[in-house]
Amino acid sequence: MDNSFWQLTRRKFITDTSAAATASAVGLLSVGEAWGASWDAGPLNHIVPTANHERFLVKTSFKAPLKGAPLLSIDRRSVTGQRTDDEGRFWRFDVSGLAPDRQYELRIVGADGAPLCDAWPLKTFPAPGTRPTRLRILSYTCGGGFDGPLLKDKTLWLDMTARRRLLARGMGFQPDVVFANGDHIYWDVRTWLNKPFAAFLQEKFLARFGGALDISLPMMHPRNAAIFQAVADYQIAGLYGTSLRSTPAFFVTDDHDNFENDEFDEELSTMPPNSYGPAGVEQTQHMYYPEFLPDGNRPDWLPGGDRAKLAPGTNTGFGAFRYGNLLEALMYDCRRWVDYAGDHARMIPQWVENWIVQRTAAEEDTTHLLHIPSLPFSHSAGKLGEWYPDVVDNGELTIAKEKPGWQRGWFGQHQRLIKALSTQKQRSAVIVQGDYHASAVTRIKRSGPLVLDRPVHTITTGTLGSGDYAFPSFFHGIKASSSELIGADEQLPVIEKNGFTIIDVTPDKLTLSLFTWRPPQDPALIDTMEPTLIYEIPRNS
């Protein structure tokens, strides 16, 4: 499409959202309003809820342990909190039997009945079979990390104040739902210590939060618990606070959530994660953000749904978001269950692949479908844990050299998923992905020998937390780009900036607005920044 189309669409988005601030329920909030500056959180430290059409699951923490179990007051009834830590700072509220598409007023009260915070609204989703006409999504990746001293005049992660400002800008568009895709935590146990700057990390970062974790002991052992909570409080509760209280959120997990980077060399292999990684990600999720609620089309026996601590029917790694018949989104962690079985290797277990392919083929169920994997399609940066065999050689990506540890079966599974997406007859094939510290839009037309029936649109949504060292062009010496096995049109070449994507869903199309910003740009520009690109995907394109 020519530039005039993008300019017209861009102006229309800006005009619509600005006018909405005074004339519509989809108004653009100020940064202060989006962050909830006027809402009294009392002793509450953070809230992250999720929802479906009949249930809420709310994760909370308090600044100090509570003496008794708090209650969640909702619709003239009270739900007792379930403690998710050893001391009583962390509590989960599981509310079932709700009416679809209804806004409820919630309030947390103490064991004595006294309010612990202001009341707030939270709404269930429309029921399957209904026909909502619009939906707005906020999506991004890599929210974790912590700010601190510069290393050779470069940052490791984005300053937390700027990160909160980016989140507030995204929340200012009043999304109905948030997709946070991977790397909510950066605290790598072994892969920090094999880097040239290991001593700097140990002195300036590990010491700041109490030292290194002892992986011979459980995460909540007294030796580790204070370190773990200090890290997660800063990176998760410190980023979100109570800003998501009225917006159901879906947290997809990735490699760093297992407390490692995906690496393979003669001395170290971190994927699949050892026993400490899954225990760490599950403990983080158990305390800080919700698991995926059950879905009538997701089998109960999928991996990730068999842990003793889970709320009934939930899953830690694989989930579906359903908004009436307007949209279904399939979310899947591609790291925790990866195997190294050569030609038979898989990034996700076979049962999960079967479920994803079956739901992708069920076109009569929803108008639009999104895949939301933790591992990006189309792009490569030469890292081990990718669908593709590309490796960095003399500053360029190539498949002519062997990538140590890479498994051919991973690309085989990639091909099956791409084929399932591209053979849809009534819906466009769309992947909304994270992991890479960038924003980008591509249209995949060929994947290896497979010429696609219709293009697969991939949207790399932008990163909240990445600093200079996290961008591939700095750490790997190249930007991420399309694999040599992929034939694709770049609608938006890779932009290594911080940012997020707003996705507006209507029955006839998806409209994706990608926002980007990065230091040394003035942080004040975040509050008024315009989309770098607006990309429209008609329902059947």
CATH number of the domain residue 111 falls in:
2.60.40
Do 162 and 173 belong together in one domain?
A: yes
Examine residue 131 and state whether it is found in any structural domain, yes or no. no
Are residues 244 and 387 both part of a single domain?
A: yes
Which of 196-210, 325-339, 519-533 shows the lowest per-residue confidence on average (mean pLDDT)? 196-210
Do 27 and 92 belong together in one domain? no
Residues 326 and 458 in one domain: yes
- Model confidence pLDDT, tens digit, residues 238-257: 999 999 999 999 999 999 99
58 plus 8 within the same structural domain: no
Q: Which two tokens stand for residue 287?
A: 């305390």
pLDDT band at residue 275 using 50, 70 and 90 as cut-offs: confident
14 within domain boundaries: yes
Q: Which domain holds residue 338?
A: 3-38+138-538
Provide the domain count of the chain.
2
d(CA 106, CA 56): 11
Regarding whether 142 and 114 lie in a shared domain, the answer is no
Return the DSSP state at 388.
Answer: S
Q: Is residue 443, in this structure, part of any structural domain at all?
A: yes
Residue 418 and residue 272 share a domain: yes
- Give the CA distances from residue 429 to residues 196, 369, 386, 418, 444, in Å, rounded to whole numbers and listed in that order: 42, 7, 20, 9, 10
| pTM of the shown model | 0.93
Residue ranges of alpha helices (H) inside 362-407 are none
Residue 17 has pLDDT above 90, yes or no: no
Residues 260 and 398 in one domain: yes
**pLDDT given for residue 9 in this prediction:** 43
Specify if 133 maps to a domain. no
Under the banding of pLDDT at 50, 70 and 90, the label for residue 357 is: very high
Do 119 and 253 sit in the same domain of this protein?
no
Domain boundary residue, one of 90, 125, 160: 125
pLDDT, tens digit, 9 for 90 and up, residues 103-126: 999 999 999 999 999 999 999 999
Q: How far apart are CA 397 and CA 400, in angstroms?
A: 9
With respect to residue 521, please indicate whether it lies within any of the assigned structural domains: yes
Check whether residue 78 and residue 142 sit in a common domain: no
Looking at residues 319-339, what average pLDDT do you find? 96
* The amino acid at 411: F
Asked whether residue 506 is domain-assigned, the answer is: yes
Are 215 and 320 part of one and the same domain?
Answer: yes
Does residue 299 sit within a domain? yes
48 strand-pairing partners: 59
Examine residue 132 and state whether it is found in any structural domain, yes or no. no
Q: Identify whether residues 26 and 77 lie together within a single domain.
A: no
CATH number at residue 407: 3.60.21.10
Nearest to 101 by CA among 139, 58, 136, 130: 130
